[in-house]
Amino acid sequence: DFLINVLEHEDFKKGICNTNFIEDHPELFNISAFDNQTVKLLEYLAKTTLAKNSSDREILPKIEVPIYKDMPNLSGTKQILDEKGPEGLVQWIKDQKQLLFMDTTMRDAQQSLFATRMRTNDFLKIAESVSRYEKDIYALELWGGATFDTSYRFLKESPWSRLELLREMIPNILFQMLLRGSNAVGYKNYPDNVIKAFIKQSAESGIDVFRVFDSLNWLDQIKPSVEEVLKLGKVAEVAICYSGDILDKNKTKYTLDYYVKKAKEVEAMGAHILAIKDMSGLLKPAAAMRLAKALKDEISIPIHFHTHDTAGNGVSSMLMASAAGVDIVDAAVSSMSGTTSQPSLDSIVAAVEHTPRESNINVDDIQVISDYYEKARKYYTGFESGLKTGTTQIYKYEVPGGQYSNLKSQVESFGLGHRFTDVLEKYKEANELLRDIIKVTPTSKVVGDFAIFMLQNDLDKENIYEKGKDLAFPDSVVDFFKGMIGQPEWGFDEKLREVVLKGAEFVDKRPGLLLPDEDFDKIKAEYKEEFNMDLNNKQVLSAALYPKVYKEYLRFKETYGDLTYMSSDAFFSGLSKGEETEVFFGEGKSHVIKLVRTGRTHADGNRRMVFEVDGFRRALYVEDPN
């Protein structure tokens, strides 16, 4: 190390060295600065730089964080809930004339725009500004849905830490999460004891409002979650997923009556709030108005509308719902809105100014937050779907916003990228074969997997019953026909079930009733043995929900350390030559790391990468993956 430090020193290279060189540069001896953690970090940066060919990439400008003005009264909806309980909050909502907003930027917007890749580090930079500039927002949706899985799987960070850190920095606004009922934050049913323990821990870590839905609108699957939320004194918002088009008389399944009936059941269940969850952006403006009006007439709990702007009609739909008296709508700050994401918060707030639904939110304040995300979004362009404008095709295909951006890359990974429209056509056909089910995680995955499978095997509605007999169907499709995702409203096509299951058993009850309780002590013993770790409650839950992904995350941390506080461009792409990045550790410590040089590939396939850490050189030999 010492020799390398000498050889790499700028003065030495320039020939500015005499017999005093070493004495003049005492930092050369400071080799111990490279502790284990630092070396792991450099290894990560070196490997990522090589894997992404980043040495000569354009260096992204550093994101400026807005300086917030101090606002005297930050007391918000969180304080109303804490002081008056869920019933007090519900009463407060009912007392409002103004249209209330939930900002989905930190969850659904980033999930639907760039596959849930937004990192905690980029949220923390803006969190204190959010608590001030968004102080009049009803709630922030910032957790649940796909964020839990992707945090561990792709971002190598803890979703629990994200939640707890944001809670500390935003003490005044309600935090909402999306809970997939008995599927929790996963893609399959979990035992009831996992669901309950997960809800309890989420509440302890900072969640106030649980938006619970079931991917088939089967309320039996939602009840256990709602019971637990009510027991904890938190807010239970039950979401009914919107499918079809209530305006279209030819569509006889998802009618206005269907939704009113479901809404009444939701109210009877004891939910505090009803949400209409239009995950695919199918709720046209006139339908939104009709639906909101009917629901307002039929139930008395507050009503919350959620949509996606995939077809470009999201703002109109929310405004029509507002005119019909809906209490709360979902939206995302403008730079994170539109297309597969939510409609623009700024636009709707501005549209209701000087009307009876005028909001307390200040559009200029929201602009500050939007400006930040506009810059931060540049780190995530690699994960975007490429969709630049809305598309009314979505009314035909009914693909959820969050799935649309993923489906493209899934299709490409099967070598079918050039046939994306065919995949969408098959998606429609697969849905018909499944008797027009609600399509949202995880049923949307069933339809997506089924569609790709049909395309790969030249299957269609006619030939599948014969041709399918000799084929092994995707796991998700098999699970669906086994009843493991739940019971669809209009039952199964029994003939197709036989083709798919080939004699395997299926259930007609809620899977949670059949699954044995998870043995948390057994999980703890397993991790003690394998990782020498004493898992805390949060870690046990992560292990129970995502056993494989969680272990991979722990192994990643053993290899590279905790990279939560590395900047996102460095995390995703490594460093460009000459680029500097500051990586923070616990207790405010940090290192400034610069990539000085990338050497040639040696005969053994390794390359020499030279870094500077706080001004000290360090060279690494790393295998070139290219």
Q: Which of residues 158-187 bind ligand 3PY (CB under 6 A)?
A: 178, 180
**Considering the complex, what minimum distance in angstroms separates the CB of residue 242 from ligand 3PY?**
11
Residue 78 or 308 having the CB closest to ligand 3PY:
308
The entry of ligand 3PY, Zn ion, none near residue 440 (CB within 5 to 8 angstroms by kind) is ligand 3PY
Tokens of 354: 């000087």
Q: In 3D, which of 113, 237, 262 has the Cα closest to residue 178?
A: 237
The one of Zn ion, ligand 3PY, none whose footprint includes residue 180, by CB under 5 to 8 A per kind, is ligand 3PY
- Helix extents (H) in 206-312: 223-231, 256-268, 285-298
Q: Tell me how far, at minimum, the Cβ of 270 lies from ligand 3PY, in Å.
A: 23
Report the run of H or E that residue 142 belongs to, with start and end.
Answer: strand 139-144
- Residue 391, number of CB atoms within 10 A of its CB: 17
- Asked if residue 145 binds ligand 3PY (CB under 6 A), the reply is yes
Cα separations (Å) of 210 from 32, 49, 146, 226, 229? 49, 40, 15, 8, 7
**Closer Cβ to Zn ion, 212 or 609, answer by number:** 212
Q: Does 441 bind ligand 3PY (CB under 6 A)?
A: yes
x-or-dash string of contact with ligand 3PY, 68-107, rule CB under 6 A: ----------------------------------------
**Which among ligand 3PY, Zn ion, none contacts residue 181 (Cβ within 5 to 8 A by kind)?**
none
Which whole-number Å values give the CA distances from 445 to 108, 383, 430, 437, 572, in the listed order?
17, 19, 11, 12, 26
- Three-state SS at 115: coil
For residue 145, the minimal CB distance to ligand 3PY (Å) is 3
Q: In what order do the strands lie in the sheet with 606-613?
A: 580-584, 590-601, 606-613, 616-623
- In the bound complex, what is the minimum distance in angstroms from residue 180's beta carbon to ligand 3PY? 5
Rounded to the nearest whole angstrom, what is the least distance from the CB of residue 403 to Zn ion in the complex? 10
Q: How far is the CB of 112 from ligand 3PY (least distance, A)?
A: 7
Angle at 172 between CA 235 and CA 586, to 5 degrees: 105
Yes or no: say if 300 and 277 are a contact pair by the CB < 8 Å rule: no
Residue from the set 173, 440, 523, 554 that interacts with ligand 3PY by CB under 6 A: 440
Q: Which does 146 bind (CB under 5 to 8 A by kind): ligand 3PY, Zn ion, none?
A: ligand 3PY
Q: Which of 222, 279, 336, 447 binds ligand 3PY (CB under 6 A)?
A: 279
Asked if 400 interacts with ligand 3PY (CB under 6 A), we say yes
Q: How far is the CB of 400 from ligand 3PY (least distance, A)?
A: 5
Q: In Å, how far are 68, 131, 133 from 71, measured between CA atoms?
A: 9, 10, 9
305 has which bridge partners? 276, 329
- If the CB atoms of residues 342 and 567 are measured against Zn ion, the closer one turns out to be 342
CB of 111 to ligand 3PY, least distance (A): 6
Binding mask 402-431 for ligand 3PY (x = CB under 6 A): x-----------------------------
Interface contacts to Zn ion, rule CB under 5 A: 108, 279
List Cβ neighbours of 67 (8 Å cut-off, separation of 6 or more).
none
Short-list 208, 274, 199, 280, CA closest to 244: 280
Least distance in angstroms from the C-beta of 342 to ligand 3PY: 11
- List all residues 6 or more positions away from 413 whose beta carbon is below 8 Å from its beta carbon: none
Residues that bind ligand 3PY (CB under 6 A): 108, 111, 145-146, 178, 180, 279, 400, 402, 440-441
